[in-house]
Amino acid sequence: MAFFNKFLKKRKTGETQENRKPVERKTDEATEKSERTAPVRFGAASLIKRAHVTEKTSAGGVGGKYTFVVSQSANKDEVARAVKARYGVTVRDVNILSMPGKMRRRGRQIGWRAGFKKAVVTLKEGETITMQ
């Protein structure tokens, strides 16, 4: 059968291990670097929706803690990279909280206000973000 002939063909006599081209392999340093810095799935603009400013969070700004409303699919690593990319600061720690939606009534009509995910970002000492 013609299909199996390509498996049964014998190698040419002139083609040995010595005559073949050497295979170039990627360096370990390049692969390690690409593994350490995984790309952000979304841009920093779409990942961080807005700053979450309340009385409690504005008091946290003194201690280097800033609160942002983030995308529902965001995780700590992505939030840290997005804050670093957007504001140019060093992020020390990220805490993420999922805030539940709340029930709202208007007469007999019952509805739900949407929940959201917020991230509390702690910066390196001495660094600040100017909120507008």
CATH number, domain with residue 73: 3.30.70.330
Tokens found for residue 128: 């600040």
Decide if 117 is inside a domain: yes
Indicate whether 17 belongs to any domain.
Answer: no
CA distances (Å), origin 87, targets 37, 52, 77: 18, 16, 16
Would residue 6 count as lying in a domain? Answer: no
Domain of 66, in residue numbers = 38-102+113-132
* Segment 10-63, tens digit of pLDDT: 655 555 566 667 777 766 665 555 555 555 555 777 899 999 999 998 887 788
| Residues 123, 56, 99: CA angle, nearest 5 degrees | 85
In a domain, 77, yes or no: yes
Tokens coding 120: 């509390």
**What mean pLDDT do residues 109-115 have?**
96
Domain count, the chain: 1
Residue 14: inside a domain:
no
